[in-house]
Homo-oligomer: A and B are copies of this chain.
């Protein structure tokens, strides 16, 4: 199914879309955080939506579990929800992940609309059809591929977002520029916070992801370019979660991008100026981000579940706008990026 994307000022189009589908019920899913400002704004923007029920789940990645799904499914049972209903997921990536997952299984799949409320979710998580929950503490260990029927993006929902969480969305947007467009990457020289959260920048990010996912729904080829920065970024994130100063996903990806740009220098002769500009962006927007780690700290997380203990494969940048996948990288080359 194609996902219809509606932006701020296209509210009537989304209303028409929902009316045409004749859904039997509209179920809002929010977390303890978004069930405040965001749900209120939603109701103001869409006063004519007939919401059958609001399901509120606890906030935080630690609740992206099967138990919370069971709570959701129990509520659907109580509401006698049938398979013509629709979920509206209002929240960050956690809500679209678990809401999309729960919806994709109920009666073998009911539709979803994602309304992302963090920048990270707007530029990345809201689109792509990957749903998931954690199982045995392994991230997204269970999941499905099911595209949302629609997405609605309105930066007004970012208004009350904590600054640190807001900025953590920059990393995925920067990654999208790096793997897709040198002119966009050049524009980022002068980007301000407002530029990052502008509808134009969000739209560019989403369009990049849409173009890539369209070529590889199931993530077996070119979609892996979206993993640029994530092999090392995820390892840093996992390590940080065991320390007293855990990083946000986007912060860890920012650091991962710097490492993987350096490795791209060694393997593909990417100009050193790219990693240097990346470091400048980090200084400019994340002056307080000073997480300390060494290769030894993250190596266990990096090599986990990888078959070849002598090295790993990752996505790396050949030039701005051209990302290679499945590039073999030695442990030594990774160490040199530290």
Mark A residues whose CB is within 8 Å of B: 66, 70, 73-74, 77, 80, 82, 104-109, 130, 132, 135-136, 138, 140-145, 305
Which of chain B's residues have a CB closer than 8 A to the CB of A143? Answer: 105, 107-108
Choose one: B73, B80, B144; the contact of A108 (CB below 8 Å).
Answer: B144
Interface centre among A82, A108, A145 (most CB of B within 10 A): A108
Q: How many copies does the complex hold?
A: 2
- Report whether A77 and B138 are in contact in the complex, using a CB–CB cutoff of 8 Å: yes
**A212 to B136 CA separation, bound complex (whole angstroms):** 40
Cβ of A309 to closest chain B Cβ, rounded Å: 14
Closest CB in chain B relative to A263 CB, distance in Å: 24
Given contacts A104-B144, A105-B144, 14 further A-B contacts (CB under 8 A): A66-B66, A66-B70, A73-B135, A73-B136, A73-B141, A77-B141, A80-B305, A82-B305, A105-B142, A107-B142, A107-B143, A108-B140, A108-B143, A108-B144
Residues of B within 8 A of A108 (CB): 130, 132, 140, 142-145
CA distance A144 to B102 in the complex (A): 11
- Cβ-defined contact, A142 with B80, below 8 A: no
